[in-house]
Amino acid sequence: MKQLILIIAIFAFWQAVFAEQYDFVVSQDGSADFLTVQEAIMAVPDFRDSPTVIFVKSGVYKEKIILPTSKTKVVLIGEDALSTILTFDDYASKLNRFGEEMGTTGSSSFFVFGDDFTAKHVTFQNSAGPVGQAVAIRVTGDRAYFEHCRFVGFQDTLYAHGEMSRQYYKDCYIEGTTDFIFGWATAVFEDCEIYSKAGGQYITAASTLEEVDYGFVFVNCKLTGDAPEHKVYLGRPWRIHAKTVFINTEMGAHIRPEGWHNWNKPEAEKTAFYGEFKSTGPGADPSARVAWSKQLDQNALSTFSISAILAGNDNWIPGANLANKLWPSAHHKN
């Protein structure tokens, strides 16, 4: 009996300690501060200088969520990425209340407009299915950081939208069919699994601005999927100055030998920057790649350090400002 009381006391103590790490808690059972993620976001003080940490308990939250520009430094922590799911089911050709098609942007399940957004152990999903463009998350704000998150959908899953936005994805899982990582942003994907579903043909569709040095950079990632062998391109240029690079990436047999597609834009072969460094696996075949792509050498690689890509004028270090605020969560899974 004494042991049971001691265990209960210890459990209560650690619950209290962990609770202090969060400003708000969201739960669908009514036991926390809010029932919905959107309510918690709207409770965050506008343009707050310090992080506001929202803990989301396990559950499937069917909400179309907007993080406004005024909600800065919001940190969203899920109880577990596999069981903390933020989802909605809009899609581009779906009609809105005015009888107009929503379009790709309007289909987004989660809109991130505020700067310095962080998410950990959360699944962002569009559950509309294979119905064309259907965005799980659109990220427009600057200095966005995702760790141990899942991005689930079909076409256009992850919209790395902001033209001058910097985004960092660490140990994440991203799945889709066609152009399922797309947009203008400068984004680094490190130690991520990129899963190509059957029925798709392209992983990336960058639309990098001409004056921006970096687009999408994948570092130590794995390209997996159930797409057929030699079916999927690494990328195609949504805009002609698209920039996409894969560094030390393991590529499955679903990747086409030629690697890249010009989207029927011959001019893009002179303006886009598509490169690889030491790709491995059955989908890595440097000798078969299109002539207008690049195999990077060690000297070129020095310009693709994460700090060089993301630092900007403010010397941003992803996640550094949260190191002392958040408890480690080694038990969480992707």
The residues that are catalytic are: 179
Between the alpha carbon of residue 214 and those of residues 206, 271, 318, the distances in Å are: 10, 13, 16
Q: Label residue 331 left, alpha or beta by phi (over 0 means left) and psi (-120 to 50 means alpha).
A: alpha
Kindly tell me the burial class for residue 165, based on how many C-beta atoms sit within 10 Å of its own C-beta (0-12, 13-18, 19 or more). Answer: buried
Token couple for 42 = 């709207």
Token couple for 323 = 């190191």
Cα pseudo-dihedral 251, 252, 254, 257, rounded to 10: 50
In the DSSP assignment, the letter for residue 310 is H
What is the C-alpha to C-alpha distance for residues 197 and 325, in angstroms, rounded to an integer?
37
- Cβ-Cβ contacts under 8 Å for 312 (sequence gap 6 or more): 166
